[in-house]
Structures are given as structure tokens and as C-alpha cells.
Amino acid sequence: MDTEALIKSIRRGDEDAVRELIRTRGAAVFTHAMALCEWDKPLARALVSETFRNVIAHLRAFPDEMISDAGLAELLDAEMVEAVHRQCIRNASGALDDTPLKTIRSKKHEVKPTEPARSRAAKRAIIGFQMTLLVLLAIAALWLMCGILMSMKWMPYADLGYTWFNRTFFEVF
């Protein structure tokens, strides 16, 4: 059927002409809708049905408008974009926060507690003290390990203060 005759039939209210329009242009519009909504099939179907409803309503609302084949393709594309925008607005409106602005603003301007400047220095001092104790403990462990290895003759003898330690502390016992 010729495009102009098809449009005239749609404007007269012929449902067979509407079906013919959907049959001839439906695949292209559906492919375009799939590309627009990133291959989401249910969303694309909803967009296609909304697009065709709007195009048919437009054709019936403006009976004196001359529309050619290219004009119909342009109208379908424009209605598809409008349907996408409306769908985005519908999807976004459900995601809006219903909290009153006064509550949002009070949370935004709420003063958050901060640590005093002195506490960072205190943390650094504690960490420094812990590191010093750890180094001293490591040195003492190495000294003890060397003494044990030398007494077992696994290491050559070297006086690392063991005689002084023995004379000073073993006299007490």
C-alpha cells in the first residue's frame, strides 16, 4: 500500500491500515528501540507500542498535514525519542528521595566531630614508643640466640657481653 493512502486510511480510523503500518514499519522501529535501550527487550516493546500509539494519535490529530514516506520515518524517529525521554523520566521519578528538604539540608550542614590536633601527635608518640620497644626486643632476641648458638659450638665464640652478664647477674642468685 502507498504511504499516502495508508496515512489517509489511518486518519479515517481504519484499523487494518494501522496494522499494515505496524507490519511494514514495526521491525525497523523495534530494532531502533532495542539499540536505544541497550537491548532490553521488554523496555523496547513498551517503547515501540508507545511510539506507534503516539504516531497514530498525531496522524489523526493533524488531518491536513502532508506526510511523505520520509516524513513518516522522521515522525516515527521523533516519537521514539520522545518515548525514550518519557520512559527515562518515569524511571527516574521512582528513584527520587521523598525526604523533606529541611531534613536533607540539616544533614548537609551538620557539623561532624573531628579529632583534636593533639591526638594525632599522641598516636605518633605511641607508635614511636612501640617501634622502639620492638627494636629492643629484637636485639635482645638476637643476643640470646647468638649466646645459645655459641654455647652449642655452632657459632664461633665472641664475647658479646656474656661474661659481664654472668658476673653481674649470676652473683645475685
Return the pLDDT at 89.
62
Query: Which percentage of the chain shows pLDDT scores above 70?
Result: 82
Taking residues 50-57, report their average pLDDT: 84
Band (pLDDT 50/70/90 cuts) for residue 110 is confident
Query: Structural domain tally of the chain?
Result: 2
Radius of gyration of the chain (CA): 42
Least reliable range by pLDDT among 16-25, 63-72, 151-160 = 63-72
26, part of any domain: yes
User: Is there a single domain that holds both residue 75 and residue 136?
Assistant: no
pLDDT in tens, 18-39: 888 888 888 888 888 888 777 7
The backbone torsions φ and ψ at residue 84, rounded to the nearest 5 degrees and listed phi first, read -65, -45
Residue 154's domain spans which residues?
A: 125-169
Q: For position 129, what pLDDT does the model report?
A: 92
